[in-house]
């Protein structure tokens, strides 16, 4: 209860949820002694795959006995997820103490919620100067609160696509502009570029970072992976090849994220991450709401022996890779969909070609989400679309057969509600 009270106070320090600027975060961090300058960091920017790449990095680093601090956003179930220090989420009591200290330092000055959370992370992370910090960039990156690091070990650029367009001027709502916002201010270190959706995007990234003196590693040019018919994955880069076991996460896009994580860690000589650490680490990745299968709990009871999956993808690029996974399955697929109001709902669903049913729902506790009835009407090109008010009603309404799967998707906020309800 005390944690929620202080969170409520921090959310009221600025009239806007997002106000892209570095002035406020720099001012507060200066008061705190510029803790961000004391960190060993790997920064992760991009549209999709940031969280999954960080979880792959984390799992491998743990196998190498290297302790990590992790900053991600948004959280799925609890705000504590954003604050990992020494490999563990901060508990409620310690998070309250941290927030109170940062709140006092800020002295009621205007600052966005994300900015003050970022300052709190930097401040606490500086208490563990030997740990590796895995830091997920927020919106765009150029004016994002995480972008005040003066140096780091590496910058990862995950797949880039169209998202958050409402934060760009009408005449600049393009992939080119998003690439510029995400990559033009990367610090000088190693830059690892993940697999992109097209060669045009890769070329645009190259143009954006051409003057950056960092060492650059591109998927397909400097590192790659391939499937072997004998049931293993072969990863290869300039340092040689590694025969890898199948990871414990679903979807080919996860393999692309894992390959990028491996390339990153192998590019940082001082970490001394070996093949054994990589092989063990990729079989122990913990991933919340990214093609996560629900194996037990309240909601699982409604689907009995059928599979129930939850995935937080919410933009067209996410839909594309999610559909690629669904197409690999020989069964009927039923989608339960809830989305935020500012997303491209029709474009998102246009990637799903062979689904058996579509059920739209309201996202609980999210006033900025699109109402399920409105979403249903927007997607009336689907022959079998229907609306149900709640997650449970939607699951119960689907006439599943043996081996069918139910997938809940469209929003990380919806994914959080599903997991909390379960």
Query: What pLDDT shows up at residue 56?
Result: 98
> What is the layout of strands, in order, in the sheet containing 40-45?
88-89, 84-85, 68-71, 132-136, 40-45, 154-157, 190-193, 215-218
- For residues 313 and 289, give the distance between their C-alpha atoms in angstroms, rounded to a whole number: 9
Return the DSSP state at 255.
H
Q: Say whether pLDDT at 195 is over 90.
A: yes
Average pLDDT over residues 393-421: 95
Query: What pLDDT shows up at residue 278?
Result: 98
Q: Say whether pLDDT at 17 is over 60.
A: yes
Query: What pLDDT shows up at residue 265?
Result: 98
Residue-wise pLDDT tens digits, 36-58: 999 999 999 999 999 999 999 99
- For residues 342 and 361, give the distance between their C-alpha atoms in angstroms, rounded to a whole number: 16
Residue (of 282, 285, 394, 384) closest to 337 by Cα position: 394
CB of 354 closer than 8 Å to CB of 335: no
Report the percentage of the chain scoring pLDDT > 70: 98
- For residues 339 and 315, give the distance between their C-alpha atoms in angstroms, rounded to a whole number: 10
CB of 247 closer than 8 Å to CB of 254: yes
Looking at the domain 292-421, which fold is it?
A: 3.90.190
Query: What pLDDT shows up at residue 177?
Result: 87
Q: Say whether pLDDT at 165 is over 60.
A: no
Q: Say whether pLDDT at 351 is over 80.
A: yes
Helix (H) or strand (E) holding 376: helix 372-378
Backbone angles phi, psi at 194, to 5 degrees: -70, 175
Say whether 69 sits in a helix, a strand or coil: strand
> Comparing 70 with 364, which gets the higher pLDDT?
70
Q: At what angle do helices 92-106 and 113-125 cross, to 10 degrees?
A: 110
Tell me the residue ranges of DSSP E strands in 107-187. Answer: 132-136, 154-157
> What is the layout of strands, in order, in the sheet containing 292-293?
292-293, 307-310, 405-409, 333-337, 357-360, 385-387
Chain centre to alpha carbon of residue 78: 15
Beta-bridged to residue 217, according to DSSP, are 192
Residue-wise pLDDT tens digits, 219-257: 999 999 998 878 899 999 999 999 999 999 998 889 999
Query: What pLDDT shows up at residue 142?
Result: 87
Mean pLDDT of the chain: 94
Helix (H) or strand (E) holding 392: helix 391-397
Average pLDDT over residues 110-122: 97
pLDDT interval class at 78 (50, 70, 90): very high
Q: Say whether pLDDT at 163 is over 80.
A: no
Average pLDDT over residues 67-79: 96
Q: Say whether pLDDT at 308 is over 80.
A: yes
pLDDT interval class at 1 (50, 70, 90): confident
Q: Say whether pLDDT at 145 is over 60.
A: yes
Query: What pLDDT shows up at residue 230?
Result: 80
Query: What pLDDT shows up at residue 225?
Result: 96
Say whether 421 sits in a helix, a strand or coil: helix
- For residues 126 and 179, give the distance between their C-alpha atoms in angstroms, rounded to a whole number: 30
CB of 50 closer than 8 Å to CB of 137: yes
pLDDT interval class at 381 (50, 70, 90): confident
| Structural domain spans, the chain | 2-281, 292-421
Q: Say whether pLDDT at 168 is over 80.
A: no
The residues, any chain, with a CB within 8 Å of residue 200's CB and separated by 6 or more, are none
Does the domain formed by 2-281 have CATH 3.40.1190.10?
yes
CB of 235 closer than 8 Å to CB of 244: yes
Residue-wise pLDDT tens digits, 354-370: 999 999 999 998 999 99
pLDDT interval class at 30 (50, 70, 90): very high
Distances in Å between the alpha carbon of 231 and those of 237, 242, 246, 258, 327? 20, 14, 7, 17, 20
Residue-wise pLDDT tens digits, 266-307: 999 999 999 999 999 999 999 899 999 999 999 999 999 999
Query: What pLDDT shows up at residue 20?
Result: 79
Q: Say whether pLDDT at 170 is over 90.
A: no
Query: What pLDDT shows up at residue 172?
Result: 67
Query: What pLDDT shows up at residue 62?
Result: 98
């Amino acid at each position: 209860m005390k944690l929620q009270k202080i969170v409520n106070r921090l959310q009221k320090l600025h009239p806007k949820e997002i106000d892209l600027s570095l002035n406020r975060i720099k001012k507060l961090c200066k008061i705190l002694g510029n803790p961000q300058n004391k960190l060993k960091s790997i920064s992760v920017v991009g549209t999709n795959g940031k969280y999954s790449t960080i979880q792959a990095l984390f799992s491998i680093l743990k196998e190498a006995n290297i302790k990590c601090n992790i900053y991600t956003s948004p959280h799925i179930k609890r705000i504590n997820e954003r604050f990992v220090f020494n490999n563990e989420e901060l508990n409620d009591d310690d998070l309250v103490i941290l927030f109170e200290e940062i709140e006092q330092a800020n002295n009621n000055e205007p600052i966005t919620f994300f900015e003050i959370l970022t300052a709190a992370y930097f401040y606490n992370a500086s208490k563990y100067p030997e740990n590796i910090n895995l830091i997920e960039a927020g919106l765009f990156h150029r004016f994002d609160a995480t972008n005040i690091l003066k140096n780091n070990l590496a910058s990862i650029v995950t797949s880039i696509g169209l998202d958050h367009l409402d934060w760009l001027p009408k005449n600049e709502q393009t992939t080119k502009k998003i690439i510029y916002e995400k990559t033009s201010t990367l610090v000088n270190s190693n830059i690892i570029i993940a697999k992109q959706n097209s060669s045009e995007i890769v070329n645009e990234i190259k143009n954006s970072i051409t003057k950056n003196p960092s060492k650059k590693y591109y998927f397909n040019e400097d590192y790659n992976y391939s499937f072997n018919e004998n049931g293993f994955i072969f990863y290869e880069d300039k340092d040689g090849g590694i025969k890898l076991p199948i990871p414990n996460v679903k979807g080919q896009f996860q393999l692309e994220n894992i390959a990028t994580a491996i390339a990153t860690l192998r590019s940082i000589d001082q970490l001394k991450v070996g093949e054994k650490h990589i092989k063990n680490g990729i079989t122990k990745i913990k991933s919340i709401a990214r093609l996560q299968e629900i194996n037990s709990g309240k909601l699982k009871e409604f689907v009995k022996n059928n599979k129930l999956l939850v995935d937080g993808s919410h933009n067209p690029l996410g839909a594309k890779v999610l559909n690629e996974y669904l197409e690999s399955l020989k069964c009927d697929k039923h989608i339960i969909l809830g989305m935020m109001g500012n997303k491209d709902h029709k474009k998102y669903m246009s990637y799903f070609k062979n689904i058996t049913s579509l059920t739209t729902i309201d996202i609980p506790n999210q006033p900025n989400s699109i109402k399920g009835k409105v979403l249903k009407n927007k997607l009336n090109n689907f022959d079998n679309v229907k609306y149900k008010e709640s997650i449970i009603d939607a699951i119960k309404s689907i006439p599943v057969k043996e081996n069918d799967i139910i997938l809940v998707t469209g929003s990380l906020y919806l994914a959080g509600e599903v997991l909390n309800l379960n």
